């Protein structure tokens, strides 16, 4: 049984600590009603949709309900009519009652829900166990889903022309892909929040490359979830937003 408390500072991987204070301050600012570099999903409607889905599939009597350890899970994603995988780690030292901090990580292009969790000899899992927090890694519907934002290299700060071209190139098919990717992230987050007692004041979003773009985008669009965000190696965001 675990007797130590789960402090927010101890819950962060070392790579996130530097950015946490800065990004927490930025996220406290008022979120714009429209994040113009992403897809057309309404944030509040999506939160309600994902919460309803999480409640509809909850199974407290299942032996895996609130399970601990390294978990490979799936859920039925109605909008895509598909079984959608996600990766979840819950510390083995958790006492089954205490509220846990949570870190969601968004993978880079071409990877999946397992790539970054397994990387570097499962370093994320080892850190989560050491510091006592949940790690959750969604697929984002596909390996190239991009979590709702179409921006890629070279659409970085200081290159608004590239960002404008990439936004203008989004057709109906691409818009649907972006929406499904964004929806999958919110679905997985709400499924975990519905099952486990998460400390809502200690929820963090991070991602690398394509996942960094998703972190900027979803961090702004769904700011009330996050205490801080840590985008890594890929500031794919429209500077005007």
pLDDT for the residue numbered 34: 52
pLDDT for the residue numbered 136: 98
Residue 18 lies in a domain: no
Residue 64 lies in a domain: no
Residue 138 lies in a domain: yes
Count of structural domains within the chain:
1
Residue 6 lies in a domain: no
Burial 98-118 (b: 16+ CB within 10 A, else e): eebbbbbbbbbbebbbebbbb
For range 128-146, the mean pLDDT: 97
Separation of alpha carbons 34 and 41, rounded Å: 10
Residue 113 lies in a domain: yes
Q: What is the DSSP letter of 138?
A: E
For 61-66, which contacts have Cβ atoms below 8 Å and span 24 or more sequence positions? 65/195, 66/90, 66/96, 66/195, 66/196
Residue 147 lies in a domain: yes
Separation of alpha carbons 175 and 41, rounded Å: 10
Q: Which domain covers residue 53, as residue numbers?
A: 44-57+69-232
For range 154-162, the mean pLDDT: 79
3-state secondary structure of 83: strand
- β-strand pairing of 134-138 with 82-90: antiparallel
Mark out the alpha helices in 12-148 (DSSP H runs). Answer: 14-27, 43-57, 115-131
pLDDT digits (tens, 9 = 90+) for 102-128: 999 999 999 999 999 999 999 999 999
pLDDT for the residue numbered 158: 72
pLDDT digits (tens, 9 = 90+) for 33-87: 456 668 889 999 999 999 999 999 999 999 999 999 999 999 999 999 999 999 9
What is the band of 31 on the pLDDT scale with cuts at 50, 70, 90? Answer: very low
Alpha-carbon dihedral angle through residues 16, 21, 27, 29, given to the nearest 10 degrees: -170
pLDDT for the residue numbered 234: 74
User: Cα(first)–Cα(last) distance of the chain, in Å?
Assistant: 46
Please say if the pLDDT value at position 7 is more than 90. Answer: no
Residue 237 lies in a domain: no
Instruction: Name which residue leads in pLDDT, 165 or 31.
Output: 165
Instruction: Name which residue leads in pLDDT, 201 or 13.
Output: 201
Please say if the pLDDT value at position 19 is more than 60. Answer: no
- The CATH number for 105's domain is 3.40.50.1820
Residue 39 lies in a domain: no
């Amino acid at each position: 049984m675990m007797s130590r408390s789960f402090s927010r500072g101890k819950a962060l991987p070392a790579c996130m600590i530097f950015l946490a204070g800065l990004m927490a301050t930025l996220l406290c600012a008022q979120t714009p009603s429209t994040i113009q570099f992403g897809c057309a999903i309404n944030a509040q409607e999506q939160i309600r949709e994902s919460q309803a889905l999480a409640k509809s599939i909850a199974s407290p009597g299942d032996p895996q309900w609130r399970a601990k350890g390294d978990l490979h899970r799936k859920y039925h994603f109605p909008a895509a009519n598909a079984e959608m995988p996600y990766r979840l780690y819950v510390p083995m030292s958790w006492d089954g009652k205490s509220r846990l901090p949570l870190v969601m990580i968004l993978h880079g292009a071409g990877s999946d829900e397992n790539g970054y969790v397994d990387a570097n000899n499962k370093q994320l899992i080892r850190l989560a166990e050491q510091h006592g927090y949940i790690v959750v890694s969604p697929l984002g519907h596909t390996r190239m889903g991009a979590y709702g934002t179409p921006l890629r290299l070279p659409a970085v700060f200081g290159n608004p022309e590239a960002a404008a071209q990439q936004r203008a190139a989004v057709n109906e098919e691409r818009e649907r892909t972006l929406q499904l990717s964004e929806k999958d992230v919110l679905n997985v987050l709400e499924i975990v929040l519905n099952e486990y007692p998460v400390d809502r004041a200690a929820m963090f979003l991070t991602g690398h490359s394509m996942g960094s773009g998703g972190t900027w985008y979803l961090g702004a669009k769904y700011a009330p979830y996050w205490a801080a965000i840590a985008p890594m190696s890929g500031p794919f965001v429209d500077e005007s937003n």
